[in-house]
Chains A and B, each alone.
Chain A
Amino acid sequence: MEYKILDENKLINVNKPSRYMGREKNAIVKPFDQVEVPMAFAFPDLYDVGMSHLGSKILYEIVNNLDFSSMERVYTPWPDFEALLRQEGATLTTLETQTPLAKFPLLGITLQYELNYTNILTILDLAQIPFYAKERTQDHPIIIGGGPGAFNPEPVADFFDLIVLGDGEIILPKLLQLYRDLQREIGSRPKRREFLLKACLLQGVYVPEFYQPSYDQEGILQAYRRTEAEAPYPVKKQIVADLDEAPYPETMLLPFGEVIHDRAMIELFRGCTAGCRFCQAGCIYRPVRERSLELLTKQAELLIRATGYDEVSLISLSSMDYTEIESLVDTLLNRYGCEGVGLALPSLRVDSFSVDLAHRVQEVRKSGLTLAPEAGSQRLRNIINKRISEEQIIEAVSGAFDAGWSSLKLYFMIGLPGETDEDLQAIVDMAEKIVSIWRQKRRKGQLRISISVATFVPKPHTPFQWFGQISQEEVERRQRYLRSLIKSRQISLSTHDAKTSFLEAVFSRGDRRLAPSIISAYQLGARFDGWTEHFRFDLWQQSFEQLGIDAHDYAHREIEQTAVLPWDHLDSGIRKEWLQKEWNLAMACQETDDCRFGPCSLCGVCMDYGVANDLKGRS
């Protein structure tokens, strides 16, 4: 097939052409025709978001370091660029070599967020690749999914040939090798079925077409039936046991323009065992695996020199829990502070230790302070297992005021299991209490407390997976109620759009029967659903209605603990009994310790996968 490539001069008609231009510093360009197994990698969101994502940058360098393979990038075109491609009849190409996506033998697409699903279709559509795997031919790429969304990919599973579960830096090179070996054997592109049959034997590989769901007359999921005897059940994830042994980036792709997170990033550890019961990342990435202080300082040096960034972000799910966080911060500040290089701590814990450390870091930079108590009352914090006390919160805030902060951002969630209006009142009470602390301290300046309230979305593989989201009307009522309680003018409230959270819940707990609704919403014009300025809920409603899909059922239903779930065949390492136990503890308002610092609570991953929490600072 012939594909038309866009004439570069036409880029003058779009906003920020550098998004589609490639050739950034540290981009790796290997001639497409000279690579045995070239792979395209799509990030289904705007360039500015994709270029801020650490995981993709890691994979980019790892795959490009393989001598037989390459990785070329593509992002979802913003609507102006999409319109230009359509108007010109041009196909979507990669940034590195301007090769049409459809020509690649393999195309990876990362699943980061449920509301990116239509963006996946935009990419396939503009690349002239059929949506459904079963409609694609031998000449089309094999499409590989991955990322956190891989743990419930069912709404989009039919679009993928295979999906990888767990740490991509191990499984992806293995897959590429397998493809290369088969290709060498037969001297041409392997047959897709042959490749899939071999691939599904690798730990961490899920081939959706080998697992077919069945439903009873009422539409209740009964089971997943394997169509191939070799296909494993359940599909296990892939884990890097020792992060020091895993490859890490030594340079970093550098966008020309300013993107969302425009700074060097080092990953302190993977996984989090704090055990917040709503949190999917805290479940699917277990156990905790730290990088050593030595390796991290080396990595920071390499990255600063390779990029010229003036800020290094210390990335992980809860950076403050890194066992050697203080030494790391001190070392980096001593070494680079005088060059004007600052540090960013993206996830503060709510305690005075964290605030002190943030203060030390801010000696180079100054910005607002963000804390996430998640729930206002102690009872509700026990339910969600956010193990912080009111005392700790007060201490942290006082410390922040003493250190000179006058602007605070507080994150909360509403719609949590067991939540009552009293718990909402407790959110506002906490904020008012903070205002009174400020008054007592008689500090100069203007206090600003911004309360940001998200709506709970039930996530697969968490103790709260069975609990339904509250209805949109109820979300809006609780938001209004919260707003009515606020008395001080120093406190401002921002809430999440209820419709957006609803759609997140639908797809978070969705199954394969949702795929047609994504296609029809896309065809009706849904794009960039995660962006307020583009989100069109009416298109989704129309799409669900046309297809007779009861979206509310997916989002709001309280699922029986005995029910078969659309992600039961995908093993995150966490045992279902543990999730049930955690649910029961939540209902009894009881906490569970962080197994890094307390006893093992037997979630299962360490026993079943032969791994353990790896705290480098303890050994």
Chain B
Amino acid sequence: MSEEHKQPLQSSLRVQELIYGLRISEVMTSKVFAVSRNCTMRDVQTIMKNNSITGVPVVDSKRVVGIVTMNDLMNALEQGAMEQNVTRWMVGEVQTLAEDMPLSFAISAFGKFSFRQFPVVNKKNELTGILTFRNINHALIRELSRQLRQMEQQSEQPVEPASLNLSKVYQLHRYDFENGGKASSEIKKFLKERGVPPKLVRRVAVASYELEINLVAHSIGGMLGFDINENRVKISSHDRGPGIEDTEKALTQGYSTANEWIRSQGFGAGMGLPNVKRVSDEFAIESAVGMGTMVQSIIYLKSEKENENQ
């Protein structure tokens, strides 16, 4: 199981991590062109042409009930049915995305389904935007230039050796148990050398270690990012599948879907996520089946009082 995995450049991993962590709502196009059930295919054609778009959602009191794509339009055109109702030609079962999902889930969705756009909905299931691959490319370029700017600034001002500031991303591969744990070892060392109290170092190590192992044991692979300053350590785990059906259940002690082989490695007691939650000051998990899982753990390095006084 020990294939050699080369770690990509830190800067490219960081851009990827930043992209993964963005919310869909931050990236999508909010100005959506939608039609209602009683519109015609001709109406859709006009909208597509005037705005150079390739998909138009069909809504009924803000709920998405279908989508008309370029393909549907061509079919209607071929049949000379442009004056017919959109409901005759639209695709009825639409895969939507939730606006507060991390972008990594959307990237998985693009990979999994062959759609060119996804309608985006809010908690009330109302249409709030549309996400195309172009949106993702724009976000990528934005983050790339931000990263470059940051690197330029950093090279101008040398970092103090004792500084607690660090941002680092590790890539983890499925079933690569040999490397699972390297990230937490390195971070542990980093914090210890800078005089962070052992109790806090231990909490960071436990959280990151369990998350690393989960990426290796349960995901198709993913990344673990650390964002450290003198106030807190922020650990984020991103992967793009297979996702967790019931995150509530996954957080109960003893719940595990680990197979025999994972168990033979000493894992699969179902205590990992509960452990992460226990040692975290702030904890969040989000998951969607087929799209991925994101876990975030924040551990304060200063007591909350000190944080407030700043």
Q: Do A and B come from one complex?
A: no
| Residue ranges of A at the interface with B (Cβ–Cβ < 8 Å) | none
Binding site for A on B (CB under 8 A): none
